[in-house]
Amino acid sequence: METSILSGLEASKALYSSLESRISHLKDHGIIPGLAAVLVGNNPASEIYVKNKTKKFESLGLKTDVFRLEETVSEDELLSLISKLNTDSEFHGILVQLPLPKHIDSEKVLNAIIPTKDVDGFHPENAGLLSIGKPRFVPCTPKGIMFILKHFNIDLNGKHVVVIGRSNIVGRPISILASLKDLGNATVTLCHSGTKDLKYFSKQADVLVAALGSPEFVDSSYIKEGACLVDVGINRIEVEGNSKIVGDVNQDSVTGIASSLTPVPKGVGPMTIAMLVENTVLSAELLLN
């Protein structure tokens, strides 16, 4: 079987072109969608993530500022910055790059972001809206996965979607999105580290979402022939002294057995950034309603 590649890069380009008219409509009303990115400390991976995100905003002519705080910043100082950004009309979205230093309560910080600027979709109000089937700001990675599947005409209706991983950022929200009547209408199984006999479930999947954070974990023995595989993982490994990024799927092992596969890189990753832009545009549009 030929395994087709579901390019997130291609899907993200389609999303950006659909955003052009929405952005110019906002600009006609004097609104430039703006993102405030808060970066605490000097974590090199976080630096790269924030740079990639803000670069995209700049290239689209949108506003973005990075608020850098020292690793030793107190929780109160960080909360006070969030409180200022909540009322700053130049920013429609606030992103706090995770992870935060250990002395800071991440949940408290994320919950301090006003839900109408919570473009990462992590606030309990937005998580609650999603879980009752009225999504507002949906976390960018699962939202991006739904977009890729739609872009490549992979219909979830009546299919069995198996998700590996139950994080609030990826696994749980994608399991809800896929199950919602108007979005996926799929039958969903959510697997996690407590799942006994993972293969029993993963081999039933028409669409398997691997979001467990374990390099090349899912090989051909985990899937059925013709399955669509969504590889969410971003794992850095060393190969013969060189550092390399791989997903949670062993792509060589499943090629020829899966019907389609999101690559790593250039799969889910680019869609995550694209959806951050989309959520920020959506937040700016709330001002027009």
Taking the least distance from each CB to ligand NAD, the nearer of 183 and 212 is 212
| Length in residues, the chain | 289
- Of 56, 117, 118, 120, the catalytic one is 120
Taking the least distance from each CB to ligand NAD, the nearer of 135 and 165 is 165
Q: Is 146 in the site for ligand NAD (CB under 6 A)?
A: no
Q: Which 213-242 residues touch ligand NAD, going by CB under 6 A?
A: 213-214, 232-235
Quote the crossing angle between the two packed helices 171-179 and 124-131, to the nearest 10°: 30
Q: Is 246 in the site for ligand NAD (CB under 6 A)?
A: no
120 is catalytic: yes
Q: Which of 111, 116, 131, 195 binds ligand NAD (CB under 6 A)?
A: 195
Q: Is 184 in the site for ligand NAD (CB under 6 A)?
A: no
Taking the least distance from each CB to ligand NAD, the nearer of 85 and 140 is 140
Q: Is 238 exposed, middle or buried (0-12, 13-18, 19+ CB in 10 A)?
A: exposed
How many residues contact ligand NAD, by CB under 6 A? Answer: 24
84 is catalytic: no
Name the minimum Å distance from CB 80 to ligand NAD. Answer: 28
Taking the least distance from each CB to ligand NAD, the nearer of 195 and 259 is 195
Q: Which of 33, 34, 121, 171 binds ligand NAD (CB under 6 A)?
A: 171
Q: Is 173 in the site for ligand NAD (CB under 6 A)?
A: no
Q: Which of 36, 191, 205, 258 binds ligand NAD (CB under 6 A)?
A: 191
Name the minimum Å distance from CB 166 to ligand NAD. Answer: 4
Taking the least distance from each CB to ligand NAD, the nearer of 81 and 122 is 122
Which residues in this chain contact ligand NAD in the complex, by CB under 6 A? Answer: 141, 164-167, 169-171, 191-193, 195, 198, 211-214, 232-235, 268-269, 272
